[in-house]
Structure 1
Amino acid sequence: METGPLSTIRKNKIKDHLNKENSSYQNTRLSIQLSLNGLSFCITDKVSQELVEVQRLRFSTPRSENELRGALNDFLESHNVPSRTYESVVVTHSNALFNIVPQALFDLSKLSDYVKFNAQLLPHDELAYDTIAHKDMVVVYVPFTAVNNYIFDCFGPFDFKHHVALHLEELLSIEHEAPEKVCYAHIDQGTLNLTVIKDKKLQFFNSFQIGSTEDLLYYILFSLEQLTLDPKEVQMLFYGETTEAEPYYKKALQYLNNCGIYRPSFTQKIPTHLLDYHFDSIILNA
C-alpha cells in the first residue's frame, strides 16, 4: 500500500525501543484506529495469527484533532500499550477529509486539488494517498498529522492508511454471482459508509454522520433514489457495528426487502473470549 510523505514527522527522533518490556509482544502487530468519534486498537500475534487483545473507546461528542492526540495517549497508556515493542505498527485514519481519484487522473503534485472541495484545508495540513491495488483508483486524504507525530514518538516508523482504502480493497475483491448492483452499509461510531458495487467496479461511495435510525434510513433511501435503485429490490448488506439484533438493522428491514449481514474476510484466529467483543473486524486487514 503506497502512502504519502510524512514530512512533519521528526525522523531524527527515533528512540531506542529495545529497553521496553516486550518479551511477549516481539512477534505482534499493533493496529490503531483513529476517529474523531472514538478510538480502538487490536494486537495480533503474527506467528499464530491469533488476535491477542482488542480495546475501544467511544466519545460522547466528537473531538478535535488536538483533543484526539491527548485522548489517544490516555487510552493507550491505560492499557500499557506504549510500554511494549511491536514487530509492526499500522494506523487507520477515519475521517471525511478524502476523495477517490481515478488512477488515470492522479497527479502527485496536485493532492490538494483533489480534496479542497470536500474539506477546508489549513496551511499546515499534510496530505497522503493510498493506491487501491489493481483497481485503478487512489484515495487522497488529510491524515491526523498531530496524532501521527505522537505515534511516531511512541513506536518509531509505522504504516498508515485511510479507512476508505481498507473498505474498498475488501469490497472490490468480492466475487458476486449476480451482475446486479450491491449496496454495502458500514456503520461504525456514528458514521455510515455507503458503497455501491457492480461487477467489481465502484459505482458510488459516500460517508454520512448518523445519530438515529431515522438518519440511517434517510441517507440510504436518498442515495438509492439518486442512483435509481429500488429499495425493494436492491441487495443491501450491513457490516461493522451491525447485527440482526441492532436497531439500525431492524429499522432497515421495514423499508428494504433484501437485507443481510456481510462479514469481512480475515485470517486471524479470534479466541472465544473475544468472539462477542463488539469491534469492526475489517480493521484486522489493515
Structure 2
Amino acid sequence: MPVAYTIQPTYAIDDATLLETDLTTCTLLVMIGSGTFSYAVLAPLQRKFLALKSYSYQPRTVAMADLEMIEQIFDADRLLFTAFKKVLLAFSSADNTLVPREFYQQQLRKDYLQAALPHKSQDAVLTDEIAELGLVNVFSVDKDMLGFLRKEFSTDDVAHAHTALLKGYRQDADHTASEGIAYAEVQAQHFTLTIYAGGKLLMQHQYAHRGGLDIVYYIVNSLRQLGLSELQARIKLGGALTKDSQVFQELSRFLPRIEWVHRPDGFLYIPKMIDMPSHQFFNLYALALCV
C-alpha cells in the first residue's frame, strides 16, 4: 500500500506585506535539491524579499521519489499556482563543472560534463554563463523533473545553485583575502566548498558528508592542496547550521578562523528574515543575483 505523506514546510516566513502586494509583479525563486524544495518571493522594483518557504523530506530509493514529493508540495501549497511575472528554477546538485569561457563551445557541452563526472543519458544538459568570472557552468538536470517544473511554472529560466553562490560570494569583500577564504554552504547531507585567494577563484565542488569531521577533512585537504593553510585561511559558513550544533562544534575544534556569511547586499528583507541568522538561506537569497 502506498505511504501517504503530509507535506509541511520546515520554514514558512512572511508578513502582511505579502497580502498587500500584487504577486503578478513579483519574481519567484525556486531551489530544488535532493530531499529539499525551497522558494522565495521577491518584489523586483523594491528589491525586497517578501516571503520564504522551505520543505524537507527523506528521499526514498525509487527513482521518482523527489518528483513525487514535489507533486505533493504543489497539491498542498497554493501560492505556487500564482501567476508570477517571472520564475527562476535552480537545481542544487553535484552534477556540474566550470569551463573557462575562452575554451567553451556550445556543441561540446555534454563532453565537458562527461569528462568531469558520470553523466546519465536521461539528463538534460544546461549552462549558466558567469561573465564576471569568465566561466560557463555546465550542469545536468533530470529530464522528468525539469519537464514537470517547466510546465507547472510556465518558465524556461533555469540556473544552477553553484552559479548563485559564486555571484553571492563575489559581493563579499573578504573574497580578496590573500591568505585564502573557504566558503562552505552546508546542507543536511552535502556541502558546497568554494575557495578564493586574492580574489581569484581556485575551486568549487560539492561533497557528501556524514558530519562535521567529514567537512573538516575536505576543507583542510582542499586548502593544503592549493598551498593554503587551514590555520590562516578564513572559513565562512552558510546554510543549515547553528552555533550550538554538533557539526559547528566539530568544525570549531580544527578551524580557528570560522565566521558566518551574510545575506546578499543590495536587497531589502522583511523583519522576520532579518531576525533569522544571516547565513541561513544564503543560497536561496543569492538566486536573486541570477535574475
In the superposition, the TM-score normalised over structure 2's length comes to 0.82
Change (3 A) 1:50 1:76: farther
8 Å Cα contact 1:29-1:86 kept in structure 2 = yes
Instruction: Indicate yes or no: 2:264 matched with 1:281.
Output: no
Compute the displacement of 1:62 (Å): 6.1
**Cα shift readout 1:125-182 (whole Å, capped 9, x = no counterpart):** 2211111122111110102332221122222124110011111122234334642211
For 1:263, the aligned partner's letter is: H
Is 218-227 or 162-171 further displaced after alignment? 218-227
Is 49-58 or 88-97 further displaced after alignment? 49-58
Instruction: Indicate yes or no: 2:107 matched with 1:109.
Output: yes
Give, in whole Å, the separation in 2 of the partners of 1:120 and 1:198. Answer: 29
**Structure 2: runs of 5 or more not aligned:** 1-20
8 Å Cα contact 1:127-1:141 kept in structure 2 = yes
8 Å Cα contact 2:101-2:134 kept in structure 1 = yes
Matches within 5 A, 1:206-225: 206-225=205-224
Change (3 A) 1:200 1:65: farther
- What SS is found at the alignment partner of 2:24? coil
Q: Which residue of 1 aligns with 2:187?
A: 188
Matches within 5 A, 1:74-153: 74-153=72-151
Q: Which residue of 2 aligns with 1:197?
A: 196
**Cα shift readout 1:32-83 (whole Å, capped 9, x = no counterpart):** 1111131111112334433232111122346666322221121133121343
Give, in whole Å, the separation in 1 of the partners of 2:140 and 2:54. Answer: 23
For 2:239, the aligned partner's letter is: G
For 2:100, the aligned partner's letter is: P
For 1:232, the aligned partner's letter is: L
Change (3 A) 1:199 1:63: farther
Q: Which residue of 1 aligns with 2:68?
A: 70
For 2:226, the aligned partner's letter is: L
Give, in whole Å, the separation in 1 of the partners of 2:153 and 2:79. Answer: 10
Task: Give the root-mean-square deviation of aligned CA atoms.
Answer: 2.4
Give, in whole Å, the separation in 2 of the partners of 1:131 and 1:64. Answer: 33
Equivalent pairs, count: 265
8 Å Cα contact 1:42-1:53 kept in structure 2 = yes
In terms of fraction of residues, the more helix-rich structure is: 2
Is 193-202 or 91-100 further displaced after alignment? 193-202
**Cα shift readout 1:196-247 (whole Å, capped 9, x = no counterpart):** 1122211122211112122222222222232232222111111122343333
In the superposition, the TM-score normalised over structure 1's length comes to 0.83
Is 204-213 or 222-231 further displaced after alignment? 222-231
Compute the displacement of 1:88 (Å): 0.6
8 Å Cα contact 2:90-2:159 kept in structure 1 = yes
8 Å Cα contact 1:88-1:158 kept in structure 2 = no
8 Å Cα contact 1:266-1:284 kept in structure 2 = no
